[in-house]
Amino acid sequence: MLTRIDVRGLRGRALAEALPRPDEPGRAERDAVAAIVDQVRREGDRALLALTAELDGVALERLSVPDSELHDALARISEDLRQALLVAHRNIAAYHAHEMAAVPDLVAHGVRVRHLVRPVERVGCYAPGGRARYPSTVLMCAVPARVAGVEQVVLCVPPDREGRVDDATLAAAALAGVDEVYAVGGAQAIAALAYGTESVRRVDVVVGPGNRYVAEAKRQVAGLVGVPSAFAGPSEVVVVASPDTPAEFAAIDLAVQAEHGPDGLAWLVTWSERKADEVEAALELVVAESPRRDDLVSTFRSGGYACIVDGAEHAVAVSNVVAPEHLELLFDGSEALLEGVRSAGAVFCGPWSPASLGDYVAGPNHVLPTNRTARFASALRADDFRRHLHAVSAQPAAMETLGPAVETLAATEGLPAHAASIALRRSAIGASA
């Protein structure tokens, strides 16, 4: 089920070249998404309704979900689900509030520099639908936006076959304080958020995971709107198993990410061929018993690997090349390897720290970089919804302490007005002395 790769003895460039890389979005995907984005830009709501009928198989009369449905959904869901959402909401808010530490002003040489933080005004969140519902993603996107101080939070989610958004998703939206919900998904939803339509007013930042078409649409509109967390596409995991890792733990954690659907990656990395055999045997049982068997099989066939390495450090080197969305180090003492981890969306240390904990209630965000973008991108954070400005206030003394340097640099760059702006003020100080 998993394609086996033996990279023992390989390091550096040889290691990187020996490991498979994810496919770049193909021309067909790029062209399809470009056509959808252009159609929404030109036709607005008419395009959204037509594309929802064509791609989601449901004919809607309107896109906007009434506020009353959000609050009714919150009342309809079970107490267990409501409490679980509350726990997740509380921990996500607490984590993102904690990371927003104030930066003090800097005063030196007669200049005071203030660090000003301003939230963006309007954020568009995308929660996938179709194969599953993701109220947790609603919380992961909307809560840090609220913590950051965003005034307006909008949610787009694909409708079901009856044209409705399910109660769990709407309840999460109500709990997170989402202002507007639209029953539209796919690349067309991203285009609507970026360009605006008659119903959907354009936003400043778009966040949330999705399939390859959603991710490609975000790539195409980046620059028109902010798109944090890089390429948040199909799910990925690297599970590093030692000879002592319970095989059933490793197997189920491979399935955790693979059950999200096709195009993802599920890597087992170990320095024990016996453990690889045990995990594959356990994985066969997991797949056979899963109600999402087709999704598991599809992911494992296209992106499932069992990689044999020389040891724990070598396993981390492999993971750094893969740059996965989730990295699980499923053995005791794995924290000692964190220093060597360079590229991963999130790391889970020890056999009792499955990625599913981070997916729901640990607090940090589960919207993570995929498709090797963890090489330069990070998990979604409250700070992704804020802009950082600086305000400079100078006293006359600054003209003497710093002014000469400005004049020198300006002259060097051939910008006489820059130099003159300082010289004029220095002369004014001398005249008034």
Q: Which residues are catalytic?
A: 325-326
Cα gap 66→183, rounded to integer Å? 11
Give the span between the Cα atoms of 171 and 177, in whole angstroms: 10
The C-alpha atoms of residue 217 and residue 65 are separated, in whole angstroms, by: 23
| Rounded Cα distance, 125 and 190, in Å | 9
List the one residue out of 392, 407, 382 whose CA is nearest residue 99.
382
Q: What does DSSP assign to residue 103?
A: P
Lookup result for tokens 């030109």: 42
d(CA 412, CA 408): 6
Residues written for the chain: 433
Which residues have a Cβ under 8 Å from the Cβ of 375 and sit 6 or more positions away? Answer: 323, 343
8 A C-beta contact, residue 126 and residue 189: yes
The whole-angstrom separation of Cα 185 and Cα 251 is 32
Nearest to 346, CA basis, from 324, 375, 371: 324
